[in-house]
A and B are shown apart, each in its own frame.
Chain A
Amino acid sequence: AQSVTQPDIHITVSEGASLELRCNYSYGATPYLFWYVQSPGQGLQLLLKYFSGDTLVQGIKGFEAEFKRSQSSFNLRKPSVHWSDAAEYFCAVGPNFGNEKLTFGTGTRLTIIP
């Protein structure tokens, strides 16, 4: 069965500092990988996704993620965070065939300090 681990429950970063959110997945084949962001009182918004090809994926709002098969990881990065990036971030994995649905990690809450 597929699974996702986000080892960091809560991360605090200073505004302007770089950010890396960790995501490890378990899946028997090459999965589809996603990062979503959820602001308070809002639904989830897709930041980026990886299906195949270039392992460095660019997303919206200046985010990027790198797929590392050898480490079963798909970490999210941003070179310089803004106060508006404070939110909860979810990594998700899904199969690249069939109609199975996404499995989400438990999320990482990001706090930005001035």
Chain B
Amino acid sequence: KAGVTQTPRYLIKTRGQQVTLSCSPISGHRSVSWYQQTPGQGLQFLFEYFSETQRNKGNFPGRFSGRQFSNSRSEMNVSTLELGDSALYLCASSSHPTGGVGDEQFFGPGTRLTVL
């Protein structure tokens, strides 16, 4: 079974631009979560989608948004990029139907976003 895939793997943008990252979960997984990883803040939860609905959201500004499609693939969008948005963005999928942490999350390799 293929793992979680994320595209692109690397991205360079300039301040003020917007960016869209894509995540394809493991086949059969309906929950997709997004995390931001930076050296200063570590791993921080962005949001989680289940069956095309945002089920949980972390403490990030509205510039960060996401969506999930009927095939469970998910995208996250960051508008009006800031230098501080430079990070590794990780996507994780899970089969757990209630969204709790009881089920294992499978992580993708991440998208490395650099904002200049």
Contact = CB atoms under 8 A, between A and B. Distances in A.
Contact of B109 (A42, A46, A104, A105): A42
Given A101-B58, A102-B45, A43 B100 contact: no
Nearest to B101: A94
Nearest to B6: A43
B104 A46 contact: yes
A41 B45 contact: no
Given A104-B42, A105-B42, A95 B101 contact: yes
A45 interface: yes
A90 B100 contact: no
A96 B107 contact: no
Interface residues of B, number: 23
Contact of B33 (A42, A101, A106): A101
Contacts of B102: 32, 51, 96
B21 interface: no
Contacts of A104: 42-44
Nearest to A98: B100
A96 B110 CA distance: 27
A43 B90 CA distance: 7
B110 A43 contact: yes
Secondary structure of the A side of the interface?
A: loop
B101 A102 contact: yes
A100 B56 contact: yes
Contacts of B92: 43-44
B55 A49 contact: no
Contacts of B99: 99
Interface string A27-38: 000001010100
B105 interface: yes
A97 B96 CA distance: 13
Contact of B42 (A34, A45, A107): A107
B7 to A, nearest CB: 13
